[in-house]
Structure 1
């Protein structure tokens, strides 16, 4: 019986991200900085991949290596040679091509053959007993759907019971965007080399990358000296935005926030936004909503100051507040439209979400003091395109939102993208599938608005808010799993993650 036991290996992932094309161009410069050849760099990559695979699956005794006709295949040849030298039974399949292999991949192939290795045609019948598959078919240069012969191998690998380890990136995943235009490897683990590409963290990445590993191949100091323009953000960085409070601080020090929304039937949305803001540390939170929503909201969360939304209360609240959030449950009727028309000229920091975004799509304008938090459907309306276009290049979509509307754009989803007018671009590496439930966006709006009220810059508030939101959900998922997670479940774990200075105490 095949044993697919996997040993969990702690993975250290860098916080810098490289555009895929830039990293491919930089590999020669990086190798030169160490005084080594590209082939030697390839050998380092193969060695790192072999170590990860062998440590993760120590009982796998028959490896199938799939090699493409490029440097990704070259990495596969190195892995095959090392595995065979370690006494592992290796079957290697290689794609044929009319074009010659790249020089370093050709050296790796020759080294495999000189070590007694055999290269099988890609269309052979796979032998029995395979308990690990190594994907070296396609690398980071892919921009379109894999061709038929490659797609057939990908489908065969996905259908096989053995786990797959992908070299650099799962074949079929676009390195820059995370899009999957055709067949794609569903890896149990991916080991990427030198630096991260965006497509490993956003788009469809989480469906196919598996456990992500990284190896800099000795280029750490060279990488540290480079500017990439894209950053990865996770829970380990929360302390940089959320230091301990001064013992003498008072509620006025932590911001006055007004939240506007909750038309008939949507009291829950505005209540969740308000409570999330309190749990994220806002000093004072005022909610303006329909009069009939006031009793249930106050009953559920008496710390919120809840008032009927009228022209007078809105004008007074805009003067009182440090930060304004509008949109959760706002609706698109006259009630919501009139409120937004009053708010849109406010010069204080603002967050617009939900129906505020839908109304903005109808009457676009550009503001520099505003955070927009669209999901892909709202982003498609804002950019007058399809959801598929948004998802085909999430980084570009976020940048387009900022160019058209100004301020900061938060494009929500698995691998949320945050972009701002300065050109800064971040990918959020936190959160899980349990967040695919109603109300999560309302909670996020409250968190970001609260951090904005606590004097974070709009970009930092958006980044830190998204990380805290995802980290709170990750704590829940670790305890209970993802199915059945509710937006309001996040409130207890959120309070924990926005206090990163507090040491965890394990309960018996």
Structure 2
């Protein structure tokens, strides 16, 4: 096979809501004088390029084609594969639906010179299939696939061959990332023109596999438009974290106060403090329970640690540039009194962990605050179930901002950052190795450190999430995901927070 064009796994920052993509495609086609049928051919050529580059040993490809334009892309690919000398079998699904005109054209091209008839969803597959292409459903799916397609999806998911999905894994909601009943588990997904939110967050991260994008020749046109959603990757760290001035000193790098660590919970606040230091904070003061002072100081002597009392907290609030409260805080009267005292401050602050649980009990709204809930905490804050939060993570993050103000960082696969001033963002960093205790405490320290170093609040939240996830990806590259610890991520932060390598010429 010959590669027709290059396919990028370096994802752009632009991401569009599904309800606006049809209008976007129409606009781009009009500007570029490209018909929908020509667009279908570009998609098929891009798919051939992906297979040529990443599945070059394919001998027999099975292409599953639905009745819509996604299926039309599949027919174009099947034709191109056959022309390239690759044995190709097509399964035609949803036989009783009428095809759009351009998909009908693509189907006709595939049929020309085709000696063997297409298979139905119920026919057995050839035994030598070594690649499956999923072109069943596109981004317009709004309900569970019909029964025959669900059975077909099950066959794909249990087959030994790798799977390439066209634009989006069939059965996945392109907006929310939630499966609509059955959904394909792809080895790779090639999406077209722009990113879709459902590929980046929630269960979409499970189903998408390795994500690639082909702009289909519209890259320059898209760059002139402002996307409603941002995709954040490690490439963005250079934008937020410039080199330091040669004359910089610790007083310039932020005075951070971290509050938490009830009796028996020294680890959480220690992780936050160490992460703040590793992320470049100049001075980090920890206020904690008297029983946790020595364990924290012994582990990290660079932290300034004192007992949390009304007097020490008042002095720290006066001293601080930024305040974080919550890791290991608990919900005792000791914790509630501290939070009530922090509420009186007008300084920028971050609330995490038990501070969020207390906020759910006694809600307020303020703009000088970052909230960093995981889905369980978000559910308590919104008075809904965890399943409802995960069903539409973008919507849940926006609702947190509407109700509580400031910035909401909804943690999880594809962390969402939402606020009133900027487009919502989805962080395409991190990995399942982060599913262990202490990771959220580390994120608290990173974001707080960036605020202390002068980043605007929204930029600090974005940079903190990306640096945190990028550091975890570095850990996974070195040692794998299983067994990753929060302190392993802290160790890699020095790489993530120095994207420009301060010592370089």
User: How does the TM-score come out when normalised to structure 1?
Assistant: 0.96
Aligned: 1:403 with 2:405? no
Alignment partners' CA distance in 2, 1:363 and 1:31: 51
Alignment partners' CA distance in 2, 1:298 and 1:32: 64
Alignment partners' CA distance in 2, 1:429 and 1:46: 26
Aligned: 1:265 with 2:276? no
Q: Which residue of 2 aligns with 1:454?
A: 453
C-alpha deviation, 1:182, in angstroms:
1.2
C-alpha deviation, 1:9, in angstroms:
7.6
Q: Which residue of 2 aligns with 1:179?
A: 178
C-alpha deviation, 1:12, in angstroms:
2.7
Q: For the Cα contact (< 8 Å) 1:81–1:115, is it kept in 2?
A: no
SS of the aligned residue for 1:65 comes to strand
Q: Which residue of 2 aligns with 1:339?
A: 338
Aligned: 1:386 with 2:390? no
C-alpha deviation, 1:366, in angstroms:
0.3
C-alpha deviation, 1:504, in angstroms:
11
Alignment of structure 1 residues 272-291 onto 2, 5 Å: 272-291=271-290
Alignment partners' CA distance in 1, 2:257 and 2:503: 32
TM-superposition CA deviations, 1:243-268 (whole Å, max 9, x none)? 11111111110110111010011011
Alignment partners' CA distance in 2, 1:135 and 1:293: 55
Q: For the Cα contact (< 8 Å) 2:7–2:213, is it kept in 1?
A: no
C-alpha deviation, 1:222, in angstroms:
1.6
Q: Which of 92, 96, 106 does residue 90 from structure 2 map onto?
A: 92
TM-superposition CA deviations, 1:252-286 (whole Å, max 9, x none)? 10110111010011011011101100110111111
Alignment partners' CA distance in 2, 1:472 and 1:383: 30
Alignment partners' CA distance in 2, 1:72 and 1:392: 24
SS of the aligned residue for 1:374 comes to coil
Alignment partners' CA distance in 2, 1:491 and 1:263: 22
Q: Which residue of 1 aligns with 2:350?
A: 351
**Which deviates further from its counterpart, 20-29 or 442-451?**
20-29
C-alpha deviation, 1:287, in angstroms:
0.5
Q: For the Cα contact (< 8 Å) 2:8–2:214, is it kept in 1?
A: no
Task: Give structure 1 stretches of 5+ with no counterpart.
Answer: 1-7
SS of the aligned residue for 1:120 comes to coil
Q: Which residue of 2 aligns with 1:54?
A: 52
Alignment of structure 1 residues 138-177 onto 2, 5 Å: 138-177=137-176
SS of the aligned residue for 1:455 comes to coil
Q: Which residue of 2 aligns with 1:211?
A: 210
Alignment partners' CA distance in 2, 1:143 and 1:260: 45
Q: Which residue of 2 aligns with 1:433?
A: 432
Q: Which residue of 1 aligns with 2:250?
A: 251
Alignment partners' CA distance in 1, 2:249 and 2:502: 23
Q: Which residue of 2 aligns with 1:4?
A: none
TM-superposition CA deviations, 1:43-96 (whole Å, max 9, x none)? 000110111013211111111110111111000000100011111111101113
C-alpha deviation, 1:503, in angstroms:
8.2
Q: Which residue of 2 aligns with 1:66?
A: 64
SS of the aligned residue for 1:350 comes to strand
C-alpha deviation, 1:491, in angstroms:
2.1
C-alpha deviation, 1:324, in angstroms:
0.5
Alignment partners' CA distance in 2, 1:433 and 1:193: 26
**Which deviates further from its counterpart, 49-58 or 303-312?**
49-58
TM-superposition CA deviations, 1:419-461 (whole Å, max 9, x none)? 0122421110111111111000000000000001111111111
C-alpha deviation, 1:40, in angstroms:
0.4
Alignment of structure 1 residues 361-380 onto 2, 5 Å: 361-380=360-379
Alignment partners' CA distance in 2, 1:99 and 1:132: 26
C-alpha deviation, 1:496, in angstroms:
1.4
Q: Which residue of 1 aligns with 2:3?
A: none
Alignment partners' CA distance in 2, 1:242 and 1:181: 40
C-alpha deviation, 1:497, in angstroms:
1.2
Q: Which residue of 2 aligns with 1:191?
A: 190
TM-superposition CA deviations, 1:137-175 (whole Å, max 9, x none)? 011011222221111110001111011100000001111
User: How does the TM-score come out when normalised to structure 2?
Assistant: 0.96
C-alpha deviation, 1:97, in angstroms:
4.1
Q: Which residue of 2 aligns with 1:16?
A: 14
C-alpha deviation, 1:125, in angstroms:
1.1
SS of the aligned residue for 1:119 comes to coil
Alignment partners' CA distance in 2, 1:9 and 1:215: 6
Q: For the Cα contact (< 8 Å) 1:17–1:231, is it kept in 2?
A: yes
TM-superposition CA deviations, 1:336-374 (whole Å, max 9, x none)? 001001111211000000000000001111010000000
Q: 1:217 and 1:504, CA in 2 relative to 1: closer, same or farther beyond 3 A? A: farther
Alignment partners' CA distance in 2, 1:389 and 1:23: 25
Alignment partners' CA distance in 2, 1:268 and 1:18: 40
Q: Which of 57, 73, 76 does residue 75 from structure 1 map onto?
A: 73
Alignment partners' CA distance in 2, 1:392 and 1:209: 17
Alignment partners' CA distance in 1, 2:123 and 2:317: 71
Q: Which residue of 2 aligns with 1:31?
A: 29
Aligned: 1:119 with 2:118? yes
C-alpha deviation, 1:176, in angstroms:
0.6
C-alpha deviation, 1:502, in angstroms:
1.4
Q: For the Cα contact (< 8 Å) 1:288–1:308, is it kept in 2?
A: yes
